[in-house]
Structure 1
Amino acid sequence: MSDPRALLKPAARVSGQKMDVWTIINEGAAASPKQPIVNMGQGFFGYNPPQFILNAAKAALDKVDCNQYSPTKGRPRLREAIADSYSPLWGRKLNPETEVTITTGANEGMLSAFMAFIEEGDEVIVFEPFFDQYISNIQMPGGKIVYVPLHPPKNGATENTSSSEWAIDFNELSRAFTSKTKMIVLNTPHNPIGKVFSKDELLKIGELCVKNNVIILSDEVYDRLFYVPFTRIATLSQEIERLTITVGSAGKNFYATGWRVGWLIGPPHLLTYVSAAHTRICYSSVSPLQEAAAIGFEEADTNGFWEAAVKEMKEKLNRFNEIWAELDLPFSDPEGGYFVLVNMSKVHLPCDYPFPDHVKNRPRDFKLSWFLIQEVGVAAIPPTEFYTDENAHIGEDWLRFAVCKEDEVLDRAKERLRDLKRYIKDS
């Protein structure tokens, strides 16, 4: 008799996927002979939030109401704190009741936006490379993704460049809009590139969306870490703001990626439906950490937190990136966030290296990443995970390193990366 459990067929959205990059890198790191691994892969912080934020989280646990359900749209104190913090950046007073919704991390906020507006056959434009969660979140409600690549600097394999040089071909972007286009996803500062989209680029994107009546989902979770002028697309015009939902993250803002507290800012005619979807997905978000995030916003300016965060992260980037001149490997200098892309085309992998099956059939950057883990003891992320197969060639010579770590970890990584010298040859 056949086992009836064999008849339980999983959904196609999960059954046919390749092993994801996080599993490959984390399992490879755990099994590497170079222990302990210096993990510069996943973008979690290697240190705690500042003490005033930790104190707020601890104090929140002593409040009865902070241990119970919060309103589905978020605790009023947090919505008010976000409205107060962002109103000067918007140039007008945001309404915390109708223009701010709290979500269970930025990712759930984006899923709620897709669930609110995307139906079977609707098209969503996504720039490559992309944050990998976008893809499944769009596909769940039946959306079709239309990809538009960011083109890398022409000289990125031979000399240092700026992340601003990863360019949009606006003819390609314009052709991507069709009568079925419902939404476009924007990410600035960008993960993994570190690009801060210029005001001119954002205006062109916004004008295309106004012309085609397309919703803009602007993922701005790194919005407090920018090293060049940063423009928020929702602030460019009333017509663009009418179409824009802006995504934020307490985890990124306050060095607390495990808190899973995010938010959406947008006009009521959009947020009403996104909030309805959010209610059905998770009802409400974690109460004590909402309270702590609210206090974080209330006290950030008093503590000089935003300026200190930018200074500290830029120093970490500069500290870590010193190694690339020593190794003669070019990198793309990020304008925002805490990731740096390094071009590894000069690194020659041994032709007979024993890559495992789940790596040897993937693009070159997966092999580079595996090799660094096994032979050097440093974990980095292969960016082709954030590309379609068609455009994977764009990213296959790069690796992404996260610098949001203690300085001694950055120094240890630099020391280990010197072992790459014997594998580096001029092409």
Structure 2
Amino acid sequence: MSYQEAKERYAALGVDTEAALAACADKAVSIHCWQGDDVVGFDNKDGGAGNGIQTTGNYPGRARNFEELKADFLQAVRLIPGKKRINLHACYAVFTEAHPWVDRDQITYDHFAPWVAFAKEHGFGIDFNPTIFSHPMVKEGLTLSSPDETVRRFWIAHCIACRRIAERMGAELNDQVLNNVWIPDGFKDVPADRLGPRMRLKAALDEIFAEPCPHVIDSVESKFFAIGVESYTTGSNEFYMSYAARHPGVYNLLDAGHFHPSEYISDKIPALLCFFDKVPLHVTRPVNWDSDHVVNYTDEIREICKEIVRCGALDKVLVGLDFFDASINRVAAWVIGTRAFEQALLNALLQPDEELKRLQDTGAFTKKMMLMEQAKIMPFSDVWAEYCRREGVPADESWFAEVQRYEDEVQSKRG
């Protein structure tokens, strides 16, 4: 079937494919830089992730520095349709002779000016994250909730520095920057004090968010559990949801891997939109727990996108990707995961939502079920092919040959 035929088929259901294509192309997706180097960063003198985060695999060709990571990122985005942002962690500070290495509590905008220049050159937005892991000042698995005043002060200073950097980034790009705080804090076994760590975290956040930063959108990222903190997570969903509700301008970021396997992020999005004007979102693919697998075109990813579209929230849900897989080609991982999200988003934009809502509101549930099932077998692939053609990227698997060429000619030559 051709695009024109698919367009007519969708029109029969009341769906405007041209409007869907335009909306998909205009929705920015924040692509995480840390897939390219296994969350190692440039500031860790010991090398490697740890103290709260873990990447598995040892596929050759990992980016080792700023120039290699930029090149790999560009190679990936050439094969991905749609509008892009760069999601940066503070550990990706660029140290030079003019701006040498400093510890995380002393970083400044100058260490990220090269990233801003890169973003300006290629028309990317930027989002930012304090890096509160993989550092000696993660003591006993604790950071902002630590009873050790020295530890807590170090991480408060780091987070304040990051907000100031994000503010300068936003000013330079004439944009708003999502600055997201995630901490690994918690306990492996049943704690004797559940309240104390959360009161310390609350006080730390109050200090971190005290300074007005008009170019910054602040978020805190909740978590259910992880390896090493199976019994208690300080920054739980209830804690951060309550904090965000009491602190205008701070939002609870939903990560698709940070909830119980029986919970669905797609259902949480419309719930939050009743009360918040923005919902920051990290899209990943958990396998039994927060394992951050490469995003695929799965049922839940499609449902997440459907809720974003159904709620009229394309401008309210701030989408960032968050996966890291070192067992496969890292550039290919970026391409597979981001294209999967773009496919899910375009598919969501092609649903006959108005008719489905009408059928639900009038109690015509049998017809609603029929139409939902019919929508699943509509000629989506022809609209996807047209989207990719307009965006100047391959629609089919032919993109992989370019990644293979890049691995052979560039990545395989890295030590």
**Would the TM-score normalized by the shorter structure come out above 0.5?**
no
Query: Bigger relative contact order, structure 1 or 2, given CA contacts below 8 A and separation 6+?
Result: 1
